[in-house]
Amino acid sequence: MAQRSTSRRKQDKGEKFMDYSLLFIVLFLVGFGIVMVFSSSSYEANQKLGDSTRYLRQQLFASILGLVAMMVVANIPYHFWERFAVLAYLGSVVLILLIIPFGHSSGGATRWLYIGPISLQVAEVAKLGMILFLSSLICKLGKGVRSNKGFLIVLLSPVPVALMLWQITNNLSSAIIVMGIAVLMLFVSCPDYKRFIFLALATLAAAAAVVFYVVQTAQAHADELDFRGGRILAWLDPEAYANDKSFQTIQALYAIGSGGVLGKGLGQSMQKRGFLPEAQNDMIFSIICEELGLFGGIAIIIMFLLLIWRLMIIANNAPDLYGALLVVGVMGHIAVQVILNIAVVTATIPNTGISLPFISYGGSSVMFLLIEIGLTLSVAKGIRLKDL
Amino acid sequence: MENKMSHKTYHRSKTVTVFFLCMLVFLGLAARLVYLMVFQSEYYSMKARELHERERSIKAARGRIIDANGKILADNKTVCTVSVIHSQIKNADEVVEVLSKELGLSEEYVRKRVEKYSSIEKIKSNVDKATGDAIRAKSLPGVKVDEDYKRYYPYGTLASKALGFTGGDNQGIIGLEVIYEEYLKGEAGTILTVTDAKGVEQDEEGEERVEPVNGRDLYVSLDINIQSYATQLALQTMETKEADRVSILVMNPQNGEILAMADVPEFDLNNPYTLPNGMDASAFSEKKRQELLNAMWRNGCINDTYEPGSTFKIITAAAGLESGAVKPTDTFHCPGFIMVEDRRIRCHKVGGHGAEDFVQGTMNSCNPVFITVGLRIGVERFYSYFRQFGLLDKTGIDLPGEAGTIMHKMENIGPVELATISFGQSFQITPIQLATTASSIVNGGRRITPHFAVRAVTMDGSDSQSFTYPVRENVVSAETSETMRYILEQVVADGSGRNGAVEGYRVGGKTATSQTLPRGSGKYIASFLGFSPADDPQVLALAIIHNPKGTYYGGQIAAPVVRQLFENILPYLEKK
């Protein structure tokens, strides 16, 4: 309580702490994302829609909206959100359920709700909702989280949302991210390592079992596999499925590999010219590599690492556990999503639709990410300068 | 408060752990990037280039075929292919209107192709260059005019069976065109352009060109003047004698160069798939049509064999003289027939030639004389001379489909077969084989290889490659050769070949009249083989008339053909 009152006092005195490093990194990523969305989409947008700036304009609009929302959220003391924890959870569930009657499809998956002119990807809401809900829940549980019962409550509470995301919106990647966020928040709030090592090993074993099962089934009767099974096969041997299942993966590898050390130069990608469909979406990192080379690709990885480092600093200096958990949730969200995206694009793991935070085209994604950064900035404002 | 602090401590260390875990994974991903973008870069760049580049070939001009005088027998003419690229068309109506008008096609036909969604659609090929240029000048977006070469034969039907023609891809189908394909065809060039996934060219990427290498010009020994005259004579003879077919072969017996090869009826090289006059292609099945075309393209001088008849007595005589079985002064008696075992073989002169020496026997083309000589030589010796003269092998002429000699097996030759072989019956050879063997006998005993191609020269003249052909020396002795020249000159001067004599020139030769199989069909082949000058032959001609009506004796109808040919070409060759 003392901390909270000091932070308030600071704000009252106008000694607002703004984490400019974090702000700069985020602004850089958003700006860079807009440039890359334009670069990777303009050719196809011009060919198909006769409007080369279509995606650029939409992304620019969503980014500006997101930045405004970020600044608003940054100026709201973060404890304001504590009371909406259960609402956030239930809201996520309701939005996902609304997909069944009202969902809009794109690219074969039904993931969007239309609210007037704005399309909303409910998974993005669910990720933010889960961060808000779990931060509050873990604070409520207090020491109780260390017990097996508390551990299970935190671990199982996001499962219904994840299952719904997977089954209703056919979006396994978002389900994985939601679970990832939960596990990381739980990890930070429990002092032990044992249970997490066990959890990690169990997950690895389950993944290995799935891969093994898919390979076995493929040898016996390949037609019984669904598209995810096919994606695992395509991951194991991309060249063998180059024309169908691993088409996207192979095209992304061509883009990355042909970029070389220095890249072809901004705007010079060949793969975006119809070879890699929807290059501005999940596979945008491959176009970055093709145009800006290994240096560009590694620079982006470093920017994300800096972002996570800033989030770690803020989490560790947060005035209270609730704030720290909020920032850890955001950190988990961004880290898991960046890692999964780059791993998919480089064919390190099987293909699953996952966007690169701040950079991939997608209004909902960039807006909600910026709102999460707003939350983080709000937490950062509570830090006493002498703590740093 | 204390509680909170302990919270904080492990919270902090765990958040740091998360950060370092992330860093570890990021490092792994960066390593993966280094692997893909440094070590695998070449492989993926190559794969990507293959994907992005489209190859268009630039046709090479096919080498020309040029005669002994430098006249072009086979040439290239530029034609155009007009196509449309759907995605680039701006004004479809205008394109349809212009193309249907310029190309003389119906609007519906053009519109169907213009509106078809395909990367490139061919409207018409083999459009002449003027029309192609006119369309290109309109520079309609989406309309492409590509230039192409089409084979063109300025002399139409002349030497059609020897020259041959080319198919749709300008590849040789028959004749010299197919034998010298390697020299004539050249190497196609390529244009590599970078395109997007739909095949739209990316101009800023430029293009990579590999220039085509044109084919080599083929210089042949064929002389268009001699060929024209021989063809004219053959056609005239075919008409007046109502013959099925007339072949005239003119070659240089010293080196085997062929000066003319006419085998009428010939066909139009510029329309090789048009059936002979009066035949409606649609009236036949595909198979039958192909058979008719093959028959039309068939070169009687090399693809078909026939019974040579008395012209073969040149070979019997040479074998007899070479083996010592006969001397020119040996005397014979012909009562009009000869008994071989129990068979009575008649001479063509029913009353018989009476007493005659070997030279007179040859002048008379007396069968009993040659049967006697043949029997004296004997089967084994005769056969070994056939082999020595090269009769049993193909001549190796540079035309496709040369037929081999059809001869009895040695062990099946009895006295009767030997007797018939002696005067040129019961076996078959090609006209080119007869002319080549006769050449070797009269040229001093060198078995030459008959041929057309002299040299292959690059179009810019920078490199010339001469062809050499095998020559086998001493197939007969110089002495026998000289005797043969003397005897054959007598045949023309005062014997059965006197109709082949040319005033002012020394001509040697031999006539032949052979009944075609089956015997008694009333069909004959009349032929005459002549050469000049008789003491040092520079030109040898063989005229064969298949199934003439009326008079069918070689001395009566074939010798005059060679005489007329020689009257015309001997002064011409002297001038050269």
Q: Is residue A241 part of a domain?
A: no
Q: How far apart are CA A23 and CA A44, in angstroms?
A: 32
Q: How far apart are CA A37 and CA A92, in angstroms?
A: 28
Mean pLDDT of B474-491: 95
DSSP code for A57: H
CB B121 within 8 A of CB B83: yes
State residue B3's pLDDT score.
46
Instruction: Note the CATH architecture for domain B56-88+95-106+114-129+143-220.
Output: Alpha-Beta Complex (3.90)
DSSP code for B38: I
Per-position DSSP letters for A254-317, written without gaps between them = HHHHHHTTT-S-TT--STTTTTSTTTTSTTHHHHHHHHHHHHHHHHHHHHHHHHHHHHHHHHHT
State residue B2's pLDDT score.
40
State residue A2's pLDDT score.
43
- In this complex, do B18 and A294 lie within 8 Å of one another by their Cβ atoms? no
pLDDT digits (tens, 9 = 90+) for B323-376: 999 999 999 999 999 999 888 999 988 889 999 999 999 999 999 999 999 999
Q: How far apart are CA B213 and CA A216, in angstroms?
A: 55
Domain ranges of chain B: 56-88+95-106+114-129+143-220, 309-575
Q: Is residue A201 part of a domain?
A: no
- The beta strand positions in B435-552, using DSSP E, are 453-457, 464-466, 508-515, 524-532, 539-546
Of residues A15 and B257, the one with the higher pLDDT is B257
| Exposure of A49 in the CB half-sphere (CA atoms within 13 A) | 10
Q: Is residue A244 part of a domain?
A: no
Q: Mark which residues 190-249 of B lie under 8 Å from A by CB.
A: 194, 196-198, 200, 202
Q: Is residue A234 part of a domain?
A: no
State residue A228's pLDDT score.
72
pLDDT digits (tens, 9 = 90+) for B119-171: 677 888 888 888 888 888 888 888 888 887 888 999 999 999 999 999 877 88
| Exposure of A275 in the CB half-sphere (CA atoms within 13 A) | 28
B563, with CB counted inside 10 A (0-12, 13-18, 19+), is buried
pLDDT-derived band at B74, boundaries 50, 70, 90: very high
pLDDT digits (tens, 9 = 90+) for B45-63: 998 888 888 777 788 889 9
* Nearest-by-Cβ selection for B11 from A47, A188, A305: A188
Mean pLDDT of B457-483: 93
Task: Flag whether pLDDT at A226 surpasses 80.
Answer: no
Q: Is residue A167 part of a domain?
A: yes
Of residues A294 and B57, the one with the higher pLDDT is A294
Cis before B265 (ω within 30): yes
- Determine the residue of chain A that is closest to B32 in CA distance: A346
Q: Is A376 helix (H, G, I), strand (E, B) or coil?
A: helix
For A320, the token pair is: 């209270």
A300, with CB counted inside 10 A (0-12, 13-18, 19+), is buried
Task: Flag whether pLDDT at B184 surpasses 90.
Answer: yes
In what helix (H) or strand (E) does residue B56 lie, and over which residues does it extend? strand B53-58
pLDDT digits (tens, 9 = 90+) for B223-232: 999 999 999 9
Q: Is residue A73 part of a domain?
A: yes
A108: alpha, beta or left? (left if phi > 0; alpha if psi -120 to 50): left
How many C-beta atoms lie closer than 10 Å to residue A194's C-beta? 8
- In this complex, do A270 and B48 lie within 8 Å of one another by their Cβ atoms? yes
Residue of B566, B83, B339, B197 lying closest to A272 (CA atoms): B197
For B115, the token pair is: 């509106």
Complex-level ipTM beyond the 0.90 threshold: yes
Task: Flag whether pLDDT at A200 surpasses 60.
Answer: yes
CA distance A39 to chain B (A): 15
* Nearest-by-Cβ selection for B29 from A191, A301, A324: A301
Question: What's the whole-number average pLDDT of chain B?
Answer: 90
CB A280 within 8 A of CB A253: no
CA distance B199 to chain A (A): 10
Question: What's the whole-number average pLDDT of chain A?
Answer: 88
Share above pLDDT 70 across residues of chain A, in percent, rounded to a whole number: 91
Distance of CA A90 to the CA centre of its chain: 21
Q: Is B205 helix (H, G, I), strand (E, B) or coil?
A: helix
In the A/B pair of chains, how many CB contacts fall below 8 A? 127
State residue A14's pLDDT score.
45
pLDDT digits (tens, 9 = 90+) for B193-221: 888 877 777 766 667 788 889 999 999 99
In what helix (H) or strand (E) does residue B571 lie, and over which residues does it extend? helix B559-575
State residue A100's pLDDT score.
86
For B542, the token pair is: 């063989």
State residue A230's pLDDT score.
76
CA distance B50 to chain A (A): 11
Q: Is B250 helix (H, G, I), strand (E, B) or coil?
A: strand
- Determine the residue of chain B that is closest to A300 in CA distance: B30
pLDDT digits (tens, 9 = 90+) for A235-290: 888 877 777 778 888 999 999 999 999 999 999 998 998 888 889 999 999 999 99
Task: Flag whether pLDDT at A167 surpasses 60.
Answer: yes
State residue A388's pLDDT score.
52
Dihedral through CA B226, CA B231, CA B233, CA B238, nearest 10?
160
CATH code of the region B309-575: 3.40.710.10
**Which residues of B does the annotation mark as catalytic?**
310
- Determine the residue of chain B that is closest to A297 in CA distance: B33
State residue A107's pLDDT score.
66
State residue B7's pLDDT score.
52
- In this complex, do B52 and A335 lie within 8 Å of one another by their Cβ atoms? no
- In this complex, do B18 and A297 lie within 8 Å of one another by their Cβ atoms? no
State residue A225's pLDDT score.
65
**Long-range contacts of the stretch A52-57 (C-beta < 8 A, 24+):** A55/A280, A55/A361
Task: Flag whether pLDDT at B4 surpasses 80.
Answer: no
pLDDT digits (tens, 9 = 90+) for A104-148: 777 667 777 787 677 788 899 999 999 999 999 999 998 888 899
For B167, the token pair is: 């198919």
State residue B114's pLDDT score.
83
pLDDT-derived band at A41, boundaries 50, 70, 90: very high
Of residues A268 and A217, the one with the higher pLDDT is A268
Of residues B520 and A89, the one with the higher pLDDT is A89
Q: How far apart are CA A9 and CA A301, in angstroms?
A: 38
Q: In this structure, which amino acid lies at residue A276?
A: L
Q: Mark which residues 315-344 of A lie under 8 Å from B by CB.
A: 315-316, 320-321, 324, 328, 331-332, 335, 338-339, 342-343
pLDDT digits (tens, 9 = 90+) for A183-199: 999 999 998 899 999 99
Strands B65-66 and B217-220: parallel
pLDDT digits (tens, 9 = 90+) for A155-164: 999 999 999 9
State residue B85's pLDDT score.
79
Residue of B358, B269, B268 lying closest to B316 (CA atoms): B358
For B561, the token pair is: 């053909």
Instruction: Find chain A residues with C-beta within 8 A of B17's C-beta.
Output: 187
State residue A10's pLDDT score.
45
Instruction: Find chain A residues with C-beta within 8 A of B52's C-beta.
Output: 270, 275
Q: How far apart are CA B557 and CA A312, in angstroms?
A: 114
State residue A13's pLDDT score.
46
Q: Which residues contact B46 (CB under 8 A, 6 or more apart)?
A: none
Q: Is residue A232 part of a domain?
A: no
CB B531 within 8 A of CB B233: no
DSSP code for B354: E
Q: How far apart are CA B516 and CA B552, in angstroms?
A: 12
State residue B230's pLDDT score.
96
How many structural domains compose chain A? 1
State residue B143's pLDDT score.
86
Q: Is residue A318 part of a domain?
A: yes
